[in-house]
Amino acid sequence: MTETAVAAYEAGRREEAASLFAMAARAGNRLAQFNYAMMLYRDEAESTDPNAAWRWLRRAAGAGLPQAQFNLALLYDHGDGVRKSLTTAAEWYRRAAEQGHVDAQVNLASMYFVGHGVPRDYEAAARWFLSAARGGDAGAQYIVASMYEAGDGVTADLRQAAHWYLQAALQGDVVAREKYEVVRARLGETGP
């Protein structure tokens, strides 16, 4: 049923998609719960319950869907339709991050780095940024490189810094390319 709902949505048949997602959501399908919630949030589906979108999103998040957990965290992080709570946001980011959701890993790492919603903890920040870096996030790769370069939350290691600057540079980060060359020079390496 969810595949049929997705096909209807992609074909622009919003009312049919909403109906199918709602049926599958009521049957306990967490992906349908998430998609139905998103349609409600975007006013692509109608409901007489003003809290329906939040409730369906909360169900999908509680059922362990990482994207739903991330979106719920964003709501709490920004106070969008719910009472702002950085502590609650951090918990939902953590749940999604533990399942490999890269954006959640970045957001959680950032919270640890600055101490919002969680105690400031550079080691925890480094762990989560490293997870996101391994997941391919260029921004996280740059941050991990700078953490290795400075020894923030990790043991200073110029070779690791060079490695992560290069990874970010390979994704088009011009500043990372420059930092890579600077760190290589500090290591006494030259050439391409």
For the chain, give every domain's residue range: 1-63
Q: If you average pLDDT over residues 24-48, what whole number do you get? A: 93
Q: If you average pLDDT over residues 142-164, what whole number do you get? A: 97
3-state SS string over the chain? CHHHHHHHHHCCCHHHHHHHHHHHHHCCCHHHHHHHHHHHHCCCCCCCCCCHHHHHHHHHHHCCCHHHHHHHHHHHHHCCCCCCCHHHHHHHHHHHHHCCCHHHHHHHHHHHHHCCCCCCCHHHHHHHHHHHHHCCCHHHHHHHHHHHHHCCCCCCCHHHHHHHHHHHHHCCCHHHHHHHHHHHHHCCCCCC
Residue 190: the pLDDT is 64
Q: What is the pTM of this model?
A: 0.91
Worst-scoring range by mean pLDDT, 13-22, 142-151, 182-191? 182-191
Identity at 74, one-letter amino acid code: L
Mean pLDDT of the chain: 94
Q: If you average pLDDT over residues 104-117, what whole number do you get? A: 97
Tokens of residue 56, six digits: 């369906």
Q: In whole angstroms, what is the distance from residue 98 CA to residue 57 CA?
A: 19
Residue 189: the pLDDT is 76
Residue 50: the pLDDT is 82
Q: In whole angstroms, what is the distance from residue 99 CA to residue 105 CA?
A: 9
156, pLDDT greater than 90: yes
Worst-scoring range by mean pLDDT, 46-50, 105-109, 180-184? 46-50
Q: In whole angstroms, what is the distance from residue 59 CA to residue 54 CA?
A: 9
Query: Over the Cα atoms of the chain, what is R_g?
Result: 21
Tokens of residue 1, six digits: 């049923």
57, pLDDT greater than 90: yes
